[in-house]
């Protein structure tokens, strides 16, 4: 494996300012520095910091970035990747920021090793391997950061898609829209039970008008939610049981005995008010 020489490391350290200027110019030429999501000040700080770390962490004969010598550089790249992920950049643009340093470094080495073409090729290859490793570390961190962002957004969407609404004193409603799965059922139970505790509600209405189909799995999730509501000392009513869903439940042989169901939310609310001691009449 081709390795870095002390001469290469020294020339990088002596020309940090010129390297940064050429790198910034390269980014400007490709339009990367004109992206509205990142400021010119950020670009300047990031390029200066990375070149400083590259010059200080490089060691003779070492192109591996897994050692302790490169810990500070890895931390910088991880921080850069997370910020780019949050700003909406893709992995290619993030990695290209690191790979774009190759040309300024190659130009510097061409001047330094002009009289020794064989050593020039060797050191260009060593620098290329080093930047490739740093770029791949950036991509791995970026992908992990994006996965964390997506997971957090999915959780937020789940919470938004399962709002708990207070219909009356002591009466809560949970309109369900979309398919029920294990993860969503858990979010539903947590948010609904928390609202029962906060409001002291005695009746919770689960409206499944927006649930497209009910199969054995969905029914089991509903039963779990109803059981959890009852354990909290409240009653549960399931509304939005359309004829198609009723037929499906019968065909599947699902046991929903003991669970009060209504065809629509209005009927469920009327029942909840009646249980609460209220009557509704026209003026």
Closest CA to 5 of 59, 50, 73: 59
Residue count of the chain, please give it. Answer: 283
**Per-residue pLDDT tens for 167-222?**
888 999 988 877 777 767 777 778 888 899 999 999 999 998 888 877 777 777 77
Which range (18-22, 98-102, 147-151) has the least confidence? Answer: 147-151
235: β partners: 203
Q: What is the mean pLDDT of the chain?
A: 84
**Which pTM value belongs to this model?**
0.57
- The separation between CA 125 and the C-alpha centre of its own chain, rounded to angstroms, equals 36
Per-residue pLDDT band at 157 (split at 50, 70, 90)? low
Provide the 3-class DSSP secondary structure of residue 226.
helix
Tens-place pLDDT, residues 37-95: 888 888 889 999 999 999 888 877 666 788 788 889 999 998 888 888 888 888 888 88
Burial 94-105 (b: 16+ CB within 10 A, else e): bbbbbebbbebb
9 in Cβ contact with 55 (< 8 Å): yes
Output the pLDDT for position 158.
60
User: Tokens at residue 78, please?
Assistant: 């991880």
Q: Residues 253, 256, 262, CA angle at the centre, nearest 5°? A: 120
**Distance in angstroms between the alpha carbons of the first and the last residue of the chain:** 90
Strands (E), the chain: 165-168, 171-177, 203-210, 235-239, 260-262
**Residue 151 pLDDT greater than 80, yes or no:** no
Q: Decide if pLDDT at 148 tops 60.
A: yes
> How far is residue 145's CA from residue 119's CA, in Å, rounded to a whole number?
39
Q: Give the CA count within 13 Å in the CB-facing half-sphere of 6.
A: 0
| Domains defined along the chain, listed by start | 6-154 (1.10.490), 165-275 (3.30.750.24)
| Cα–Cα distance, 245 to 97 (Å, whole number) | 54
26, 51 in Cβ contact below 8 A?
no
- With a CB cutoff of 8 Å and minimum separation 6, the contacts of 273 are 168, 171, 279, 280
Q: Which residue from 178, 207, 203 is spatially nearest to 265, judged by alpha carbons?
A: 207
What φ, ψ does residue 33 adopt, rounded to 5°? Answer: -85, -5
Task: Give the pLDDT of residue 50.
Answer: 93
């Amino acid at each position: 494996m081709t390795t870095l020489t002390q001469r290469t490391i020294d020339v990088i350290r002596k020309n940090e300012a010129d390297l940064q200027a050429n790198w910034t110019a390269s980014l400007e030429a490709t339009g990367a520095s004109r992206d509205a999501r990142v400021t010119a000040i950020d670009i300047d700080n990031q390029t200066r910091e990375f070149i400083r770390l590259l010059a200080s962490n490089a060691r003779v004969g070492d192109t591996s970035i897994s050692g302790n010598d490169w810990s500070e550089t890895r931390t910088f790249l991880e921080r850069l990747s997370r910020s780019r992920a949050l700003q909406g950049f893709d992995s290619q643009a993030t990695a290209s920021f690191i790979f774009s340093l190759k040309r300024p470094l190659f130009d510097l080495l061409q001047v330094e090793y002009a009289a020794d073409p064989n050593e020039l090729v060797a050191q260009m290859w060593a620098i290329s391997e080093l930047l490739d490793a740093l770029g791949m570390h950036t991509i791995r961190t970026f992908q992990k950061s994006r996965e964390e962002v997506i997971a957090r957004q999915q959780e937020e969407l789940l919470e938004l898609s399962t709002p708990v609404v207070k219909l009356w004193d002591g009466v809560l409603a949970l309109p369900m829209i979309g398919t029920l799965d294990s993860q969503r059922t858990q979010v539903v139970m947590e948010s609904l039970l928390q609202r029962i505790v906060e409001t002291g509600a005695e009746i919770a209405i689960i409206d499944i008008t927006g649930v497209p189909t009910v199969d054995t799995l969905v029914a089991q999730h509903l039963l779990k939610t109803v059981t959890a509501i009852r354990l909290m000392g409240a009653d549960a009513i399931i509304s939005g049981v359309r004829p198609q869903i009723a037929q499906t439940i019968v065909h599947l042989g699902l046991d929903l005995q003991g669970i009060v169901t209504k065809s629509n939310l209005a009927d469920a609310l009327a029942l909840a008010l009646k249980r609460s001691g209220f009557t509704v009449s026209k003026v």
